[in-house]
Amino acid sequence: MSLIQTQGLTKTYGSGDTAVMALDHVNLNVNAGEFVAIMGPSGCGKSTLLHLIGGLDRPTEGRVIFDGAPIAGMSDDALTELRRRKMGFVFQFYNLIPVLNAAENAALPVTLDGAKPAVARAKAVEWLTRFGLGERLSSRPDQLSGGQQQRVAVARALVAEPALVLADEPTGNLDTHAGDEIASLLRSVSKEYGRTVIMVTHDPRIAAYADRIVFLKDGKIIDDTLLERKKNS
Amino acid sequence: MSVRHAILGLLAQHPRHGYDLRAAFSAVIGGDENWDVKPAQIYTTLNRLEEAGLVQESSVEQDGGPEKRIYAVTEAGRAALQEWFDCGVTPEHQRDEVFVKLMTALVSGAADLGRIIQIQRSLLYQELHAATTLRDGYNPRAEIAQILLLDKSIMHLEADLRWLDITEMRLDEVKRQPLPEPEVKPRGRPKKTVSSEQCSVSSNQ
């Protein structure tokens, strides 16, 4: 069952002679529960694609269909709500609020959505505990390692129970071991918790945790590979 | 090289029966599935180590085959083992098939380089996925040898993938300028010219 579909998705920056086509009529389908990595050389359009899927930017042409409905016609407010409830985001630099502790950071999306503090906190604690941070609920970001901070960020991405998690170079700021842990965590988000995960990465070892890799070059999809080899019947 | 020194190491720990040595070696390398060392190879290596004076039989059971003989390391054997531990291992660089395939395509024009690179890239990612999944299934306390070997495979696969990325970039640059044809050297004796006579005159002085 398709969760995300892009149709002729195009993003052009600038105009006339200096126009740059970051994405060139991209057609992509991602089914519910898939863990997809998007890879490609610098400037291939992978971050642009992720931002358009997440409604963080609007396309020049084409459209994004999320859960059967195009996101194009939505107002900024409606888009913001969609992002808060149906999508979770994980960024390279964690983007945690320094003055809030782990539980407060993780609870933020549902707090902002008007949930009662106790309900928000319960959700945050549930996800933080699943991710091995049950003893660090009151720690502030500066008291946590990079890997732990990113785990808080992944918990935050899930508190609203979204169908989709978007990750933009989630291990870019982490060492080898912490990076593997986050990649493994994102895989469990997909396999154990049934969410769809779309991850932009340039790290081969991290991409290998996905089910499928979509390769971009010069704004186009040049290949789409399933990573599990089919067993010979 | 490594079978020889692993045997020395195991014997340096204490003398062993041939049979015990085979089992101990298997445990060192993490099981027979990873590295298929035939029993014959162990015994051949033991013979060579004996001939080199690095190992000796410490006792023999009557009518015993190599399995039943007890082997012990000599002082020379211990020295050889220590030298192996004290020196780094020079990596071997091989010219691999992917390299040859790309160069063949480049020179002959018989295939699209970008396509070859992407085909190889997809295959390597499938291998990387399989190795990662396998490694993450092992218990670090009980199966450390398997994990170390898989970590190595994973890092090699990553290196191969990064090489493909660099190669793709370089080939994109090369596309913009044609490769020079190799120089064809003239065959036969060089023709006599005025200048060559001058050279031979000057060399007599």
What CATH number corresponds to the domain at position A216?
3.40.50.300
Does the residue B111 lie in any domain? yes
pLDDT at A30 over 60: yes
Rounded Cα distance, A154 and A146, in Å: 12
State how far residue B155 is from chain A, nearest Cα, in angstroms: 8
pLDDT at B202 over 50: no
Same domain, B114 and B168: yes
Same domain, B66 and B134: no
Does the residue A45 lie in any domain? yes
Query: What is the count of structural domains for chain A?
Result: 1
Sign of CA dihedral B72, B77, B81, B84: negative
Same domain, B79 and B111: no
- CB-based contacts of B21: which residues, under 8 Å, 6+ apart? B7, B10, B11, B42, B46, B71
Closest Cα partner for A167 from A222, A227, A95, A90? A90
State how far residue A182 is from chain B, nearest Cα, in angstroms: 13
State how far residue B161 is from chain A, nearest Cα, in angstroms: 7
Same domain, B38 and B71: yes
Does the residue B151 lie in any domain? yes
Burial of A196 (0-12, 13-18, 19+ CB in 10 A): buried
> Could you tell me which chain A residue has the CA closest to the CA of B137?
A184
B2 against A53, higher pLDDT = A53
Domain limits at A183? 2-226
Does the residue A7 lie in any domain? yes
In this complex, do B128 and A223 lie within 8 Å of one another by their Cβ atoms?
no
| ipTM of this complex prediction, to 2 decimal places | 0.87
Does the residue B13 lie in any domain? yes
State how far residue B159 is from chain A, nearest Cα, in angstroms: 9
By Cβ distance, the residue of A184, A208, A215 closest to B118 is A215
pLDDT at B183 over 80: no
> Could you tell me which chain B residue has the CA closest to the CA of A223?
B118
pLDDT at B188 over 70: yes
Mean pLDDT of A103-108: 96
pLDDT in tens, B67-89: 678 999 999 999 999 988 888 87
pLDDT in tens, A62-91: 999 998 889 987 888 888 888 778 999 999
Does the residue B101 lie in any domain? yes
Does the residue A233 lie in any domain? no
Q: Are the C-beta atoms of residues A47 and A56 closer than 8 Å to each other?
A: no
Does the residue B46 lie in any domain? yes
The predicted structure's pLDDT at residue B60 = 63
Phi, psi dihedral angles at B195 (to 5 degrees): -65, -35
Same domain, B59 and B123: no
Triad A107, A111, A114: Cα angle to 5°: 155
Does the residue B187 lie in any domain? no
Same domain, B82 and B118: no
Per-residue confidence at A142, pLDDT binned at 50, 70, 90?
very high
Please list every residue in chain B whose beta carbon sits closer than 8 Å to the beta carbon of residue A208: 125, 128-129, 131-132
Closest Cα partner for A36 from A217, A229, A200? A200
pLDDT at A203 over 80: yes
Same domain, B6 and B82: yes
Same domain, B37 and B63: yes
Does the residue B198 lie in any domain? no
In this complex, do B126 and A229 lie within 8 Å of one another by their Cβ atoms?
yes
Per-residue confidence at B201, pLDDT binned at 50, 70, 90?
very low
Its pTM stands at 0.81
Does the residue B131 lie in any domain? yes
What CATH number has the domain bearing residue B55? 1.10.10.10
Same domain, B77 and B120: no
Same domain, B68 and B119: no
Please list every residue in chain B whose beta carbon sits closer than 8 Å to the beta carbon of residue A228: 126, 129
Query: What is the count of structural domains for chain B?
Result: 2
pLDDT at B61 over 90: no
In this complex, do B161 and A204 lie within 8 Å of one another by their Cβ atoms?
yes
pLDDT at B35 over 80: no
Domain limits at B124? 97-175
Does the residue A232 lie in any domain? no
